[in-house]
Amino acid sequence: MNLKYLKFLVIFMGVLIVLGVIILIIGIYDKIKVSNQTNSKKQENNIIVSKPSDMELISYNILDKYIVINYENNSQVKIIILDLSIGNKIKEIDVLK
């Protein structure tokens, strides 16, 4: 009688080990799949600003989530304000000399 229980326990534990390994493999596969999705969806947070023609960069200031860029030439000063959080131009101001 004890031998039957022992055989049952050994078979039951073997099934549990196989199920555990299968669940572990599925978990690792899901982790790799999620990791690849987040890596492929990374966005570059680069903001590209082209310099106005015939103007020189005078200065720039970063204030919280804004950047203020000053350009100058012989006849005018141009001030460009960009929002760093969304990367859009908020305002462009031309000041004549």
The answer to whether the beta carbons of residues 70 and 60 sit under 8 Å apart is: yes
- How much of the chain, in percent, has pLDDT values that exceed 90? 59
The pTM is what? 0.54
Residue 21 has pLDDT above 70, yes or no: yes
H helical segments located in 1-97: 2-40
The residue count for the chain: 97
Q: Which two tokens stand for residue 30?
A: 């899901």
Residues 6+ apart with CB under 8 A from 77: 58, 70, 71, 94, 95, 97
Q: What is the pLDDT of residue 28?
A: 93
Residue 87 has pLDDT above 70, yes or no: yes
Q: Between residues 92 and 36, which one has the greater pLDDT?
A: 92
Residue 12 to residue 9: CA distance in whole angstroms: 5
Residue 43 has pLDDT above 70, yes or no: no
Q: Where are the domains of the chain?
A: 1-42, 56-96
The answer to whether the beta carbons of residues 82 and 63 sit under 8 Å apart is: no
Q: Quick one: pLDDT band at residue 42, thresholds 50, 70, 90?
A: low
Residue 46 has pLDDT above 90, yes or no: no
